[in-house]
Structure 1
Amino acid sequence: MTATEIEYRQRDELEAQAAHMAVPEEPRPPHGPILEVDFTTSSPRSRTTNRPRRASTHQVDMARAIHNLLGDSSSTNLLKAECCGGGTCCRLASSSVLSTPPSPSLQPIILPDNPAFRALNLQLSPLTMNTVLKDTCALVEPVTVEPLPKAHPPYVSTVKTHPPPFVTPHPPYEVFAARIHHTRALTSAGAEKRTYHFDLDVTDYPEEGPGVDFVVGGAIGVCAPNDHAVVDKIFDVLAVPAAARDEPITLHTRAGRWPTIWGDEKERRLTTTHRELLTWTVDVQSYAPKKNLLRVLAEHATDECEKKILTYLCSRQGQAAFCELRTGSYVTLLQLLNAFPSAKPPVEHLLAVLQPLMPRFYSLSSDPHTIKCAHRRIIEIAVSVHEEDDWSGGKRTGVGSGFFERMAQRYLQGETTVHIPMFRGLMQNPLAREFQLDGPMLLIGAGVGIAPFRGFVQRRLQNATCANKVWVIQGIRDSLLDELYAGEWGADEKRVKTIVESRVGTGRYVQEEVRNQAELVWFVINSLDGRVFVCGSSKGMGEGVEEALIDVAIERGGLRQEEAEAFWKNKERSLQYITETW
């Protein structure tokens, strides 16, 4: 049976179903002739039949039912062609498109029965095996991989400890292996988030020119790899033989920057291995899946139901389900492979559609020029471990924070040569660039966002002309568990720092203390060279502090709401109000 015949059959079945669901027929008056127009002659003709006519809702129900199955854009425009990211099309679909159940005569989808698929929470109604899918995304061409020529010199991979040489931060420099000089936990057992402090030895970091150095308020970039255990699990699910994972290959890219981080967009031929590429160049967990990834899985799925579901997610009819998938919690590559076990695409196909693995940036938590350590050059950073619920019932950490925690555990267990692949950050915090000015400074932060302030305070308290010109408002959950760098800010720590605890005592938040200290805030921001700096999570803390600052401007400055918002916008443009949130 052809696709056209199937479509007509589906239309007939849905019309019968819609007629059954329609409201009762309206009786037509039995007397009097009925005037009709003969469309072949455009002339009126009369008839005296008493055939009752259907209510108008019948046509609406039938059109909607046909749209549910065939996605005919000519009948209605219930879904957008592309995902907006905000879940709007999901709400439209849940209120209209998915309201009519499919006909019982249509072949149902047999859903995969595994925890990974159930955790996706896909809304697949009214999808059936008979559904004709339209406007599926195109299949991306895979990257080209060739065996290494026999005459090629032996290739030694550094996948376990360091990225391959083609992963460069900014030419002509390479990623530097900074040895962990010391590490320690900043939080106590029972804290909601684990935070570690790291002393990194950068004594041998290459010079980049006069005036280029690690500075207070600066940052470093870290090339964190995917967890080696996760990479092995992906290979296992894809049934890649152990020998093939580390066999040297030639990678041929025709354009673009990948698999480098920065550099020119050009054609490349690189010697590497599948394990190196999957470990250091593509992100397998930080981004919501795109349609081109689902399309690759659909192309290689051998189970027809799994293929249908994956293709549906790539089509216009499946736009609502795709939006739900993207706007929910992040779905990892490993979860998708376990959810659709018959889909085992070659690694080259996955490399072509996965997002590049980008470096993570961390602010320095001290003034590099004040650290003295036996003729060694040390920089300090703090890292909080980010965790999410995993489909398998446990927790999974972020790429960067999980890598740092694994390195900290190795060091604390006795390893003496643990290295962090890093490079000097290309950008500095705006406050670092303006730090030479000695105006008053108010630092507002929560969690690990307080770490960069430590260096500012250390520098300020060493300068006699800056006395009584620096204040810190630090938000924490419980001072006994997660107060970072307690007692390490200098001799005047208690005088310059205010601690706000959200989980003990009165349970106050940072933004409440900002309103409480409205006089100080207004003094700092209106002083010559005065600055207010906010650092931490944008959700909750960042949004709350912004609202509190607007309230301060309304209270102390006598401004209206719109004027207060414009006031802080102007201060932001003049680098007096600086935010670094994530």
Structure 2
Amino acid sequence: MASRVEQLLAKATSDCIPEEPRSPSVAPSLTYSEDSEDQDELQHREPPRRRRASTRLIAQSAADIQRITGESTQQLINRCCGGGCCMNSQKKKQGIEYERVPLPDNDAFRSLNLKIDEIPTVLTSITDLPEQTAFLEKPIRRVSTTPSPTDSGISLGNDANTNPDNSVTLEKSFENMALEELDTSIQPPSFVQPHPPYHVFPAKIHNTRELTRPGAEKRTFHFDIDVTDYPDEGGLDFKVGGAIGVSAPNDTAAVDDVLDLLSVPRFIRDKPVLLRTARGRWPTVWGDDKARELVTTRRDLLTWCSDIQSYPPTKPLLRILAEHANDPNEKKILMFLCSGEGQGVFCDFRTGPHMSLSQLLNAFPSAKPPLDLLLSVLQQLMPRFYSLSNDPHESFEVRDGKQHRLVEIAVSVHDTADWRQGCRTGVGSGFFERQARKYMALQRSGDKAPQVHIPMFKGLMANPLAKQFVTDGPMLLIGAGVGIAPFRGFVQRRLKSANCANKVWVLQGVRDSLVDELYSGEWGVHEDEVKRVVQSRRGEGQYVQEEVANQADLVWYIINSVDGRVFVCGSSKGMGEGVEEALIKVAMAKGNLEHDEAKNFWDLKKEVGQYIAETW
């Protein structure tokens, strides 16, 4: 039976002439035409006969796997623990003695959904205790006259860690080390520094607002960020369609919760301490792989350097918890998860919903490993990147008698199930939501210039769309959700010229335009002529990829025009794959191509920069 996209393609039109406000164009418009030349032919084509139901193979290719599971084969491979547990039976084996271990009686453990019945009394292939690479040593004085150097402190030689004769020398060198004078409540320590040669810049929020309305499935916030005082970086500037990096910290409450669970005394959490690493990049982001010595605090390391909620549990982490669990039953369960016999249970555990470090520590309350050993196995907290939603060359505002330069972004809040609060936010989106609500609360209290900051940097990475935006050819911009944000600044810039009104079109996918249409009325004077909003939860219920099929003539005109380009931005799951398949169907219908030929057509357009997809 023909797919929904194929049915919609049968309604596609040709030779539609747009009615632009100033200058005519031969390009088709975003309006649907009923009198296309090939409409009668398509309407009289007999529909394919439905096949009788029969036993059939439901998965014959990677595309079938993705359709059934909702994930690509690569995503499934990445989530696989590699232990071969899917090939092993979980039934009890003959000749092996088992015991029933009492399970921890707490909500956090129950939320892990571990399917543990009986555990073998003898475990094999237990994961080795991981090497400790981070060490927290003697306290350091706080007095400092100059900021600490970039990428921190002193690099050690090969035998500096083990040679006792070096202790006196190191002791003297430590006397000259001190905590840098930097407000780490608004920006990370300088050694984190993801963007040489400058540290992360604590930019002030100039204004913020919630773009979505009550009832929307996802909350989306808009931010005007003041970059007036951003350091000069040798001519490297913000650009339309570009992106900024943000070093989002872990939530303060979550950090305190972990420190409480590890029984780290409150009076030492913010005191200077010497951190020594044996190797690796941590706690820097993109620093060299080498040993380091630097002065920091326990709170800063857990706030800015280690991700405590975004990754699935690993065996090295569980092995550390097992080694330091005082309760014998908790130790047995954790060792079972680290063993060959527990491989199947661990695989289910690891490939389930991501859990926070706090959740694990609450589930096994007797496990209180040293903080520095834990830091040795936690994942690096990485920056997040956000596309600009404005033209940064034109965005200025006067406040307090001073002209402020602004960059604008939109951030959708990512919610994940949480055992204690029902749901929790992502590291980056949660940080932005907290900052937005803090700023708006200060405004409501009467503060006319709230001091709320975003630790950001520029120049290192840019949205791949940015370099392709500089063109005069016709363009079709396809996006859904917050993926539409990077198109806004470009369209605003283009629509300032009347003769460009017939050269850019936007297809915006939303669930319900009443609650989650982003930037309605903010695209420019010709917004009604160039933008079409497609709603999936209201009216006929249509997805943006289906409208791509409806606009087959427009797509075909643009991609075959001189310097014509098609942009796609948004979630890869659902929207991204759907749009790509719709584009293939368009090429099949309008170019009289077979499926593989149509796919190759778009692959070639990607290579020459006419088809640009930025999905995640």
TM-score computed with the length of structure 1 as normaliser = 0.82
Aligned equivalents of 1:372, 1:247: Cα separation in 2: 41
Q: Does 1:392 align with 2:428?
A: no
Matches within 5 A, 1:49-198: 85-86=79-80, 92=86, 97-100=89-92, 106-128=98-120, 130-149=121-140, 151=175, 155=179, 158-198=183-223
For the residues of structure 2 that align with 1:107 and 1:127, how far apart are their CA atoms?
Answer: 5
Structure 1 distance, partners of 2:506, 2:340, is 52
For the aligned residues, what is the CA RMSD? 2.0
For 2:408, which of 360, 380, 400 is the aligned residue?
380
Asked if residue 481 in structure 1 is aligned to residue 472 in structure 2, the reply is no
Summarize the Cα distance change of 1:198–1:318 in structure 2 as closer, same or farther, 3 Å threshold. Answer: same
**Alignment partner, residue 256 of structure 1:** 280
SS in 2 for 1:567: helix
Q: Deviation at 1:316?
A: 2.2
Q: Deviations over 1:344-400 (max 9, x none)?
A: 111101100000000000000010112131221111111111101101252100000
Change (3 A) 1:149 1:391: closer
Is contact 1:280–1:357 with CA below 8 Å preserved after alignment? yes
Change (3 A) 1:498 1:87: farther
Q: Aligned pair 1:576/2:610, yes or no?
A: yes
TM-score, scaled relative to structure 2: 0.77
Contact 1:367 1:456 in 2 (8 A): yes
Q: Work out which of the residue numbers 262, 274, 289 in structure 1 matches 2:313.
A: 289
| Deviation, structure 1 residue 103 | 8.6
Q: How does 1:241-280 map to 2 (within 5 A)?
A: 241-280=265-304
Could you tell me which amino acid in structure 2 is paired with residue 163 of structure 1?
A: P
- In structure 1, the residue matched to 2:327 is 303
User: Whole-Å Cα distance in 2 between the matches of residues 91 and 469 of structure 1?
Assistant: 55
Distance, in Å, in 2 between the alignment partners of 1:514 and 1:89 is 43
> Does the C-alpha gap of structure 1 residues 111 and 103 become closer, same or farther in structure 2, counting only changes over 3 Å?
farther
Identity of aligned residues (%): 59
Partner amino acid, structure 1, of 2:106: N
Cα distance in structure 2, aligned partners of 1:105 and 1:351: 36
Out of 538, 560, 569, the residue aligned to residue 535 of structure 1 is 569
SS at match of 1:213: coil
Secondary structure (helix, strand or coil) at the match of 1:369 reads: coil
CA offset digits 1:455-475 (Å, max 9, x no partner): 110111123442301010001
CA drift at 1:424: 0.5
Which residue does the alignment assign to 1:200? 225
- The Cα shift of 1:264 comes to 2.3
Counterpart of 1:350 in 2: which secondary structure? helix
In 1: Cα distance, 2:557 partner to 2:78 partner: 43
Secondary structure, in 3 states, of the residue corresponding to 2:332?
A: helix
Alpha carbons of 1:559 and 1:90: their partners in 2 closer, same or farther (altered >3 Å)?
same
Matches for 1:523-562 after TM superposition, within 5 Å = 523-562=557-596
Amino acid at match of 1:327: T
CA distance in 2, matches of 1:351, 1:91: 28
- Residue 475 of structure 1 aligns to a residue whose secondary structure is strand
| Corresponding residue to 1:471 among 490, 501, 505 | 505
The 3 A distance-change label for structure 1 pair 382 and 561 is same
> Residues 101 and 118 of structure 2 are in contact (CA less than 8 Å); yes or no, is this contact kept in structure 1?
no
Which of the two has higher C-alpha Rg? 1
SS in 2 for 1:550: helix
Return closer, same or farther for 1:274/1:149 CA change in 2, 3 Å cut-off.
closer
Per-residue displacement from partner, 1:78-133 (whole Å, max 9, x unpaired)? xxxxx86347978736xx622348899742121112111111112234523x1322
Distance 1:92 1:260, change over 3 A: closer
Alpha-carbon separation, structure 2, partners of 1:285 and 1:146: 26
Q: Distance in 2 between matches of 1:189 and 1:85?
A: 35
Structure 2: 5+ residue stretches without partners = 1-76, 142-174
Q: Which runs of 5+ in 1 are unaligned?
A: 1-82
Deviation at 1:152, TM superposition (A): 5.6
TM superposition shift of 1:277: 0.2
CA spacing shift, 1:422–1:133, aligned 2, 3 Å: same
The aligned counterpart of 2:465 is 431
Could you tell me which residue of structure 1 aligns to residue 241 of structure 2? Answer: 217
1:518 aligns with 2:552: yes
The one-letter amino acid paired with 1:173 is Y
Cα distance in 1 between the residues matched to 2:554 and 2:562: 14
Deviation string, structure 1 residues 253-282 (Cα, Å, up to 9, x no partner): 122221111232222211111100000000
Distance in 1, matches of 2:98 and 2:437, equals: 56
